[in-house]
Structures are given as C-alpha cells and as structure tokens.
Structure 1
Amino acid sequence: MELKVSSRSHGDHTIVTIVGEIDLYTAPRLQSEFTRILDESTTTLMVIDMSGVEFCDSTGMNVLLSAHKRLRERGGVLEMAGPRPAVRKILQVTGLDSVFTIHEAVPEELLAAEPQA
C-alpha cells in the first residue's frame, strides 16, 4: 500500500497528515518528510494526523520516535491525533501512549489557525 504524507505549517505549528500504512517499506519516505519539515521550518509543535493510518509497525514507530526526539531537542513537541484502534493498540502495548500526547482529532484551535482558502 502506498503512503501519502502531506503537511501544512502555520506560525509555530505544523500538521502532518499521513494516509496508508507505515512499515519497513514506507518508513523511509516518512523519515525523509519529517527531516525536510524539521530542516525547513521553525515549528515547535508538530501534530501528526494519524486518522488515515491503517497500520504502523515497529519501523514506523521508530520513525515517529526519532521525529519526536529531534523536535524535543529544539524545544518542541510532537503530538498525535486520531489514531485508529489498531495503531492505538500498538501505542498502548509498547508504552508509547505515555510518550506521545494523543488527541482524538487534530485540535480545533490549530485548525482554526489555518489560513482559509
């Protein structure tokens, strides 16, 4: 399955939307997208919209952890929004649900800050 990654930044926050499966084959694409965002922006809050992620293996979790660590090193925060039950279960089993702040959906105040098209 293909992985689609899109991002939009507004002020000090970036919303990254992921659709598809994050696994050994798609994780490098996600890693390079996180690297690009972190290299090109001054984001201090990154919210990963996981509502379109159907599956995430340990490779994918490592990519998310790596982005979390890199953002934290520069004083930022990485949060997740809307993980499906299968992904939420992986987060709980691995204990990562205590590492990441997890929202039911992308916080309204961040969506409200988005420029209107």
Structure 2
Amino acid sequence: MRLVELNVSTSSQEGHAVVTATGELDLYTAPRLQTALATVLHDRAVSVVVDLSGVEFCDSTGMNVLLGAMKRLNDRGGSFELAGPRPSVRRIFQVTGLDTVFTITDGVPAAGPR
C-alpha cells in the first residue's frame, strides 16, 4: 500500500485567502484541509479560494470538508470558491451535483505586482 500525502498551504492573493491543496483528499487526509480552512475562517477571511489544481483525488470526506467551510463562510456573507480542479476531480463534483453548489473557476486569481 502506498501512502499518499496531502500538502496544504495558505497565502493571501488579491484580497483572497488562498488555501492550496496537493495530493489526495480522502478520509485520512481531509483533517489537514479542515484545519487549514478552520484557521482561515477563524482569522475572519471574507473571501476564500481553495486551489484544487494539485489534487488528484477527492472522496466524500473531502467534499464534506469543503461544503462545511463554504457553509460557514456563506453564513457570514463571505465568498468561497474552488479553483482549477483537475478533470477527474471536476467530474466528481458534476456526478454529485455539487458543481451547482460550489463556485468553480479555472484558476486562482493572479497575484498582482509586489
């Protein structure tokens, strides 16, 4: 059995809190993403972008983490979007109907000049 990691990092770009995940998002790794999202929400971010371009797989646990964070942010008037999911991950959103629930974009907002 090969152990697949999930790496999660956060940054700020163009007024958005950006949470970047790479690897596989599943029952075992989802708590990492949940912790990062909870931290960003605790810091009172009003606009959160989750960069999924490096996620190779996402199961129902990962979907639930994303849904929970979106609901908490929406409840306080914030915006939550998913950026750049790979075709295989985007397909999971389409099959489950969650592509109509989440705002899904092709990429993360570009960082401006520093």
Q: TM-score under structure 1 normalisation? A: 0.88
Equivalent residue in structure 2 for 1:37, among 28, 37, 40: 40
Segments of 5+ residues of structure 2 without an aligned counterpart are none
**Which residue is 1:84 aligned to?**
86
RMSD value over aligned CA atoms?
1.4
Among candidates 14, 17, 39, match of residue 17 of structure 2: 14
Which residue type is aligned with residue 83 of structure 2? A
Q: Percent identity?
A: 59
Change (3 A) 1:103 1:10: closer
Deviating runs (4+, > 4 A) in structure 1? none
Shift of 1:29: 1.3
Structure (1/2) with the larger helix percentage: 1
- CA shift at 1:65, angstroms? 0.2
Aligned residues: 111
TM-score normalised over the length of structure 2: 0.90
1-structure distance, mates of 2:75, 2:15: 16
Q: Structure 1: where are the runs of 5+ without partners?
A: none
